Amino acid sequence: MARSLYIHWPFCLAKCPYCDFNSHVRGRTDMAVWEAALLADMRAEFASVENEESLLSIFFGGGTPSLMPPALVASLLREAEKLWGFAENIEITLEGNPSSVEAANFADLASAGINRVSLGVQSLRDDVLRFLGRLHGANEALDALETAQKLFSRVSIDLIYARPDQTPDEWRQELSEALALGTSHMSLYQLTIEPTTRFATDVRLGRFNPLEDDPAADLFALTRAMTDEAGLPAYEISNHAKPGEESRHNLTYWRYRDYHGIGPGAHGRRGGIGTTRHKKPENFLASIDRQGDGIAEHRILDNREQASEAILMGLRLADGIDLAELESRFGISRGGLIDEKKLALYRNLGLIWTMDGRLGVSEAGMPLLDGLLGELVPEELVSS
């Protein structure tokens, strides 16, 4: 059963123009109300499944969880341990912005039980940070990172590249500086223009043009080469880590394992049922008052839908998927999981590899991942 817990904190100081996550800006937040609501949601989620095992990972995402009072974080962790119990060496991650205000809370967050942080640095260039709508500067981010590395056993940073007009030389220099910071994990995302964001409006109005596909592919290849050489190879299409430092929580998603999700907009999957919480904070609180949890939708996931999602997620990973395990898990034959003719074609082209029953996307194929997924997964599996 589920051995991971996701907790969503929906509040931010400002909405970044590229962000389409469930985040909200509010002038005032009643922490006592939110503590009671999140604890109630957690207890209801625990009660939904019997015979639970101890938690292997917890992830505070957002929004900006580093804005949470450390006392609230500590309260939620105490309750999670009381309900599920913690596995030895549990990974407890909190996402945060690298501002001086939030860095001031790092010591208390570490005392509360956080042992891994993921900092949204996004760039080491002040002009880029302004373009991205970030509230911190590059030097402030470096100071926050230094503080985090002293207090937490594991630290990851996020960077955004493939920005408008970005050149290979510019990215090579910036990524070199980032690698020299000594973190054990890096999430390196190409800038994508999501349809509901302010950047989508800016592009439509001609305020800037996204980087074209071919230059972006060149930066992707450069990123893979540099991180590999630095000892942080890609274990997922956008995530790089020293061996053993991979995000255990995120691997739960990519390996399509069950997890609990609480808080506004959180998704969960346990026992063949998908859950979705109310996204708007006020609606989430009203749901807690009305029914004792924040769930907006329970949905039964049939085996074909689960198998499709497991393949789509698993092929993002460098080690790919185990087809025999998926056949056994979902009761679907290999031919129903993968288009064998397309598999043979793309394997011959060097875009796909197979070894010891596993199937994965090659280094050459990763830039074409979305297209390959559309080709490899049978239409009847996706559309079931």
Report how far residue 328's alpha carbon sits from residue 232's, in angstroms, rounded to the nearest whole number.
Answer: 33
Report how far residue 153's alpha carbon sits from residue 117's, in angstroms, rounded to the nearest whole number.
Answer: 9
Per-residue model confidence as pLDDT tens digits over 298-342: 999 999 999 999 999 999 999 999 999 999 999 999 999 999 999
| pTM passes above 0.75 | yes
CB 5 within 8 A of CB 266: no
Confidence label for 379 from pLDDT (cuts 50, 70 and 90) = confident
Q: How many CB atoms lie under 10 A from the CB of residue 348?
A: 9
Per-residue model confidence as pLDDT tens digits over 139-190: 999 999 999 999 999 999 999 999 999 999 999 999 999 999 999 999 999 9
CB 270 within 8 A of CB 51: no
Confidence label for 205 from pLDDT (cuts 50, 70 and 90) = very high
Report how far residue 47's alpha carbon sits from residue 245's, in angstroms, rounded to the nearest whole number.
Answer: 32
Pairing of β 154-161 and β 185-190 = parallel
* Residue of higher predicted confidence among 381 and 245: 245
Confidence label for 37 from pLDDT (cuts 50, 70 and 90) = very high
Superfamily of domain 4-254: Aldolase class I (3.20.20.70)
Beta bridge partners of 361: 352
Residue ranges of the chain that CATH labels 3.20.20.70: 4-254
Place of tokens 């604890």: 39
Question: Does residue 117 register a pLDDT over 60?
Answer: yes
- At 305 the three-state DSSP class reads helix
Q: How many CB atoms lie under 10 A from the CB of residue 69?
A: 16
What pLDDT is recorded for position 2? 66
> Half-sphere exposure of 305 toward its Cβ, with a 13 Å CA cutoff?
9
- Provide mean pLDDT across the span 360-364: 96
Question: Does residue 383 register a pLDDT over 90?
Answer: no
Question: Does residue 384 register a pLDDT over 70?
Answer: no
Per-residue model confidence as pLDDT tens digits over 55-75: 999 999 999 999 999 999 999
Beta bridge partners of 190: 161
Beta bridge partners of 298: 275
Report how far residue 68's alpha carbon sits from residue 96's, in angstroms, rounded to the nearest whole number.
Answer: 10
